[in-house]
Amino acid sequence: MIPDELYYTESHEWVRVEGERATVGISDFAQRELQDIVYVELPEVGKRVKKGDVLCSIDSVKSSAEVYAPLSGEIVEVNEALNDQPELINKDPYGEGWLVVIKIEDPGEISSLLPASKYKEIVEE
């Protein structure tokens, strides 16, 4: 399941760009690899991240994984619902399982993200 309207990264994050807001989550492939997610350590609102920085970490029954910032900018929202229901990421990775919203600092970086077709090739490998 790789929605066409989203952008992706090689490290399995997805990005939904709406104006200057970028909503970020992890892909369906990533949540399946991690298996049952039990804890998400969310960043604080207001924190500035650079593309490639560690955005947050996700613990599953299998391992602990880091999520990287796909774009630079300020974190303007985090998905507080994950504190009580980390399983939302497993259930609905592209919807209710979103992680953070970043206020995009440099729209030029968007072109470095992968389109759905390209990400599909990576996952299928």
Partner 1 sequence: MKVIFEYSREGKKGFHIEEEKGRDLLPEDLIRDEVEVLPEVSEREVVSHYLRLSVLNYSVDWGFYPLGSCTMKYNPKVNELVASLFTEAHPLLPEEMVQGYLRIFKDLEEALKEITGLHTFTLAPAAGAHGEFTGIITVKNYLEARGERREVVLIPDSAHGTNPATATLSGFRAVEIPSDEKGMIDLEKFKAALNDKVAALMLTNPNTLGIFEENIKEISRLLHGVGAFLYMDGANMNALLGQVKVADLGVDVIHLNLHKTFSTPHGGGGPGSGPVGVVEKLAPYLPGPRLVEKEGKLRWTGGLGRIRSFYGNFLVMVKALAYIKELGGKGLEEVSRIAVLNSRYLRKKLEGKFKVSYPTETLHEFVLSDETFRDKITTLDLAKRLLDYGFHPPTIYFPLIVHGALMIEPTETESRETLDAFAGAMEKILEEAEREPEVVKTAPHKTPVGRLDEVGAARRPILTWMQYLQEQDQS
Residues within the interface to partner 1 (CB under 8 A): 36, 38-39, 59, 61-64, 86-87
Residue 21 or 51: which CB sits closer to partner 1?
51
Tell me the β-bridge partners of 49. 73
Q: How far does Cα 16 stand from its chain's mean position? A: 9
Minimal distance, residue 58 CB to partner 1, in Å? 12
Residue 76 or 85: which CB sits closer to partner 1?
85
Minimal distance, residue 40 CB to partner 1, in Å? 11
Minimal distance, residue 61 CB to partner 1, in Å? 5
Residue 53 or 106: which CB sits closer to partner 1?
53
Q: How far is it, in rounded angstroms, from Cα 123 to Cα 81?
A: 28
Q: DSSP for 70-113?
A: SS-EEEEEE-THHHH-TTHHHH-TTTTT--EEEEES-GGGGGGS
